[in-house]
Amino acid sequence: MSVPQYRKAAALALAAGLGLGLTACSTKSDDAANDAGGKVTITVDCQPVGSQKELLKNWNDDVAEFQRQNPNIVVKSVSVGEQCNNPPDFTARLAGGTVTDVFYGYMTDLQQVLDSGQAMDISEYATKDTVPTWESVDPALKEVFSDGGKLYAVPVKNYSMGLIYNKVLFQQAGLDVNNPPKTWPEVRAAAKKIAALGKGISGYSEYSAGNTGGWHFTALLYSQGGQVLTADGKKADFNNAMGRQVLQNLKDMRYGDNSMGDRQLLQWGDLLTNAGAGKVGMFIGAPDATQAIVSQFQGKFQDWAMAPLPGQDGKAKGTLGGGEGYFFKKGLSPEQVKAGLKWIAYQKLTPGKGQFDYVRAKPQNYPVGLPQPLLFASGSDAQKQELELRKANANVDTANFAIFEASPVPIKGEPRNAQAIYAVLDAAMSGVLTNPDANIDALLKTAEDKVNKLLAAES
Amino acid sequence: MALTTVPGIRREPGRPASSYPAGPPRTSLGRKVRDNLTGHAFLIGAVICFAFFSWYPMLRGIVMSFQRTRRGVTTWVGWDNYDRIIADPSFWTAWKNTFSFTLLALVLGYAVPFFVAIVLNEFRHAKGYLRILVYLPVMLPPASALFLFKFYAYDPSDAGLFNSILKALHLPTSQWMQSPGMTMPAMVIASTWMNMGGAVLIYLAALQNIPGELYEAAELDGAGIWRRIRHVTIPQTRLILALLAMLQIVATMQFFIEPLILANGTGAEDSATSVAYLIYQHGFFQNDLNGAAALGVIMLVVLAGFSAAYVRLSAKQD
C-alpha cells in the first residue's frame, strides 16, 4: 500500500471507529426485562461501594439469597459511588435518564423525580402480596411518597432529629450525662461549659453551607413551633419571632459565648469529622449520625448519647423527620415492578433480613440498637418483631438513646421544594455564624423574599 | 484553520484549485470530496467530537432555556425562565461577585505572573529549576490546592498559616473565608497561586523573543530597570498581554471550584456565589435545569463579547 493510500485508509478507519464508538455510547443498554427463560431482570442502585467491604458482602449475599428464593428474578446491582449521599449526583443521573429500574431517592426528591417524568405509579402493585409487611409500614411514610393519591416510592428509612451529645465531654465539663439540656437556654449554658475545656472544642456545632444550614434551620424552627412555609405552601413563614429566636440563639452562642468554635461554613462531613475527633459537645442530628461518626469519621459509639430536640422554654414543639425510599422507573413491565417490590420487601422491609438482619450486623461494628429506621407503625406486627430482634442483638448501649425514645417529639416533614429553600436559608445561618454584626431581621427578610420569589416562580 | 495544514489539500490563498498543475480538474462536488477525502476523514473525528460534546449541548442549552419541564411534560415558555432568573435576588449578587472576582483577578492574577516572569527572565542561572518551582502549583490538582488553602492557610483560628504570620507580625488576623469582606480576595489569592505558573511560562517565552539589542540600546541611553520595562518590555509584549488578559477574563468569569471548595458553595452571606455556581445550584439543587440553562445563556452572551475581542486580538497577533 502506498503512503497516500495507507494514510487514506487510516483516516477512514479512524472516522469509522469514532463513528462506531459514538454510536455505541449513544445506544442505551436495553436489557431485555424478560429473557427467553422467563426470568425477570431488574437493575437496582445504591449497592455499597467497594471500600465498604462488609456492607458490600452483605448486599451481595442478600442478592444471592433473594435470587435463590426467587429463581425467576435476576437482580443486577449498580454502585453509583456517592450518588446515594450526594443530591447533585442524583440530579445528574435523573436528568441524564440513567437511573436504574429501581432507584433510590430522598423523601425531598419526590417533586424532582415527578418533574423528570421518570417515576412510575406503583399504587396497584404495592400490596401485601408483593411486600408482606406492607400493612405494617407507617402510613405517614407512604403519604410522603404519594402525590395526588398515587404512590411513587416505597419508604426504606425514616428518621427524626434530636440532640446528640458527647458523654465524655459532658463529664469533663462537669455536666450530668443522664440529664442533657431540654431547652435552648440550657443548651447554651452547657455549650459554654464544654467550650471552656479549650483544645479547640466547640460546645455546640451547627451547619451553614451546602444546603445543610437550611436543613437544620428548619429543624430548629420546628422546635420553636414554627413552619417554613404557610399551610398552603405558597409563602415563606419563617420571618417571625420564632425564626428570629432560632438565629438569635445561634448568634448568642457563637459570638456572645464563643462556644461554637472558630470554624464555620460547615456542612455534613465537616461537622461529623470534628465530632469523630472529639471536638464537638453537642449538635442536632438523626440517630444514624452516630453511625456515620463511627464508621466514617473514626469516632466511638460509647461516647455518644441522644436526647429529644430541645424547645425554647420547655419541650420542643416539633422536630424534623425525613427519610429515603426506592422509586420505580417509568416504563417497567408489571413483572419488573413486582420483582422490584419483592426485592425491596426482602432487603429493606423484612425483620431479620437485609437491613434488619441484626444477627449479621452485630459482630460487624454496625450499630444495632439505634432507634431507627422507624419504618413500621407503632404497635404493628412488623414493628414488634423488629424491636424484639433489635433488643436481642443490640451492640450499642440502648440506654444512650433511652431519653430520646422516652420523650418523643411530634415529627414534621420537610417543606415542599426543600432543597431549594435550604439553599436560600444557608445564607441566614452563615450570616449569624460568621458575622458578629449580623442583622437577624435583614437576614430573615432577604431569605423570605428569595423563598417567596422561588415559590412564585414554581407556581 | 486545520485545513491548511492537512497534506494534500493545502492551497495558497487566492490561488484557485484548478490552477494546480499536477492536480486533476475539479469540476464536480463529488470529485472535490473524493480528492479531499483524507482531509475530511481526519477532520470528521474532531467535528463529531465537537458536534456531540460542544455544539449540541450548547444548542440544547439554548433550547432548554425557553422551555419548562414539569411532570415529564416539556412546554415552550418564551422568556419566562429569563424573567424568573433575573428576578432571583441571587442573580445580581452572583454577577456582582463574579465581576469583583474578575477585576481582582486581573489586578492580582494578571500583574503578578508578569512581574514574576520579568524577574525570572533576569536570572542567569537555575532558570529551569525556578520555572519548575513556579509551575509546580499548576500540576497540583485544583481540589487539593484549594483544600490546602481552606484547612491550612485560611484557618480562621490563630493556628492558621496566614493568621500565624499576621500574628507574628503583630498585625490583626482575619476570618478569611468566613468574613464576607475577605471572601473575594482570599479566593483570588488561592486562584492566582494555583494558576499563575502557566501564564508565567507564556510571558517568559514572549520576553525571550524580545531582541536583546533593544535592551542594550535602552541601557546605553541610560534607562533603568523600570524604564526598560515600560519602554521595551511592555510595548514588545503588548499583544501577548492583551490576549492573556482576554483569556483570563473569560476563564475567571466562570470561576466555580473556588467557591465550591473554599466556601462550601455560597460562602458567608452569599459572598462567594458566582454565576457558574448559581447555575449549578439551580440545576442540581433547585430542580430547575431550565432556569440554569437560561442563566448559562446569559453568561454565554457576556463571555461571547470578550471572546470576540480575543479573536480580533489574536488575528492582529497573527
pLDDT digits (tens, 9 = 90+) for A158-169: 989 999 999 999
ipTM of predicted complex:
0.80
The confidence score (pLDDT) of residue A451 equals: 92
The mean pLDDT of A272-285, rounded to a whole number, is 93
- pLDDT of A1 higher than 70: no
- Cα A404 from chain centroid? 19
DSSP code, position B34: H
Distance of CA A288 to the CA centre of its chain: 9
Chain A residues with CB under 8 Å of B284 CB are: 87-88, 91-92
How many residues in total does chain B contain? Answer: 318
Sign of CA dihedral A170, A173, A178, A180: negative
DSSP A3-70: HHHHHHHHHHHHHHHHHHHHHHHHS-----SB-TTS-EEEEE--PPPTT-HHHHHHHHHHHHHHHHH-
The verdict on a CB contact (< 8 Å) between A115 and B72 is yes
Say how many residues make up chain A.
459
Average pLDDT over residues A230-249: 96
Minimal CA separation from A209 to chain B, in Å: 6
Residue type, B171: L
Residue of A nearest to B291 (CA): A457
For the four alpha carbons of A281, A286, A291 and A293, in that order, the dihedral sign comes to: negative
Q: C-alpha cell of A279?
A: 471536638
| Average pLDDT, 10 consecutive residues per value, chain B (318 residues) | 36 42 59 81 90 93 94 92 88 94 89 87 81 89 93 89 92 90 93 90 88 87 85 86 85 93 90 94 87 95 86 71
End-to-end CA distance of chain A: 68
Report the range of poorest mean pLDDT among A86-95, A282-291, B98-107. A86-95
- Where do the DSSP E strands lie in A314-392? 319-328
Burial (CB count within 10 angstroms: exposed 0-12, middle 13-18, buried 19+), residue A225 = middle
Helix ranges (DSSP H) in A97-211: 110-116, 139-144, 167-172, 184-195
Nine-digit cell string for A237: 413563614
Q: How many C-alpha atoms does A160 have within 13 Å on its Cβ side?
A: 22
Calculate the average pLDDT of chain A: 88
State how far the Cα of A213 lies from the Cα of A211, in Å rounded to an integer: 5
Q: Which positions in chain A touch B263 (Cβ < 8 Å)? A: 209, 265
Q: If pLDDT is split at 50, 70 and 90, which confidence band does A125 have? A: very high
Interface test with A, best of B261, B264, B295 (most A CBs within 10 A): B264
Cα distances from A65 to residues A71, A342, A347, A364, B194, in angstroms, run 10, 13, 10, 19, 52
Indicate if the alpha-carbon torsion angle A154, A415, B272, B152 is positive or negative: negative
Measured in whole angstroms, how far is the alpha carbon of residue A64 from the centre of its chain?
A: 27
Residue A162's DSSP bridge partners are: A285, A308
B25 preceded by cis ω (within 30°)? no
Share of chain A above pLDDT 90, in %: 60
Calculate helix-pair angle for B289-317, B275-284, nearest 10 degrees. 150
Distance CA A244, CA A259 (A): 20
Helix, coil or strand: residue B16: coil
Q: What is the pLDDT of residue A425?
A: 94
Q: How many residue pairs bridge chain A and chain B with CB atoms within 8 Å of each other?
A: 137
Q: Is the pLDDT of residue A19 over 60?
A: no
Residue A86 neighbours by CB under 8 Å, 6+ apart: none
- pLDDT bucket at A82, cuts 50 / 70 / 90: low
Rounded CA separation A325/A382 (Å): 18
| Whole-prediction pTM | 0.81
pLDDT exceeds cutoff 70 at A21:
no
B270 touches chain A (CB under 8 A): yes
Q: Find residue A326's DSSP bridge partners.
A: A104, A154
Query: CA-nearest residue of chain B to A447?
Result: B89
Per-residue pLDDT, B127: 78
Which of A87, A88, A117 is the closest to B72 by Cβ?
A117
Distance of CA B66 to the CA centre of its chain: 28
Q: What is the pLDDT of residue A113?
A: 92
Q: How far apart are CA A94 and CA B287, in angstroms?
A: 11
In contact, A286 and A404? CB cutoff 8 Å? no
Exposure of B87 in the CB half-sphere (CA atoms within 13 A): 17
Between A107 and A346, the more confident residue is: A346
CA A42 to chain centre: 24
Q: What is the pLDDT of residue B311?
A: 80
Question: CB distance from A400 to chain B under 8 Å?
Answer: no
Reduced to 3 states, what is the DSSP secondary structure of residue B99?
A: helix
